[in-house]
Amino acid sequence: MLSAHGLQGVEYNCEFVQTSKATRSPSWAVTAICQEPGYVFPDVLSVTRMSPTQLDLVSVRPIDDESEASGNSGSYYLCEGIALP
C-alpha cells in the first residue's frame, strides 16, 4: 500500500523521510528508509503522477538477480471503495 508516509506491505515497509516536489513536472524525489525481515536499507525514488488515479515509482535500488525482492519500482493505482484488511 502506498501512502503519504511511505510503502507498506506484508513483512516490508519504506518510510518516506524526505520529499522534494519538482518545479516543472508532477513528480517528487523521495528519500526513504526501508525494512524487511533482518535488513534495513536506504532508497531514493522518483514518484510521478501519470493520471489522477495512477502514480509510478522508480527506485535507484539495484535488484539482486538471486533475491526474491521485486524492489520498490512499479505503478500504484487509487482504488476507491475497497476496505483494507
In whole angstroms, give the CA distance from residue 15 to residue 5. Answer: 6
The owner of cell 483494507 is 84
| Among 45, 39, 37, 35, CA closest to 15 | 35
| All structural domains of the chain with their residue ranges | 2-77
- State residue 82's pLDDT score: 67
Query: What is the per-residue pLDDT across 44-55, written as a single tens digit (0 to 9) for each?
Result: 999 999 998 888
Is the whole model's pTM more than 0.85, yes or no?
Answer: no
pLDDT of 20-53, one tens digit each? Answer: 999 999 999 999 999 988 889 899 999 999 998 8
Cβ proximity of 72 and 45 under 8 Å: yes
How far apart (Å, rounded) are the C-alpha atoms in residues 69 and 61? 11
% of the chain beyond a pLDDT of 90: 33
- The grid coordinates listed for 51 are 493520471
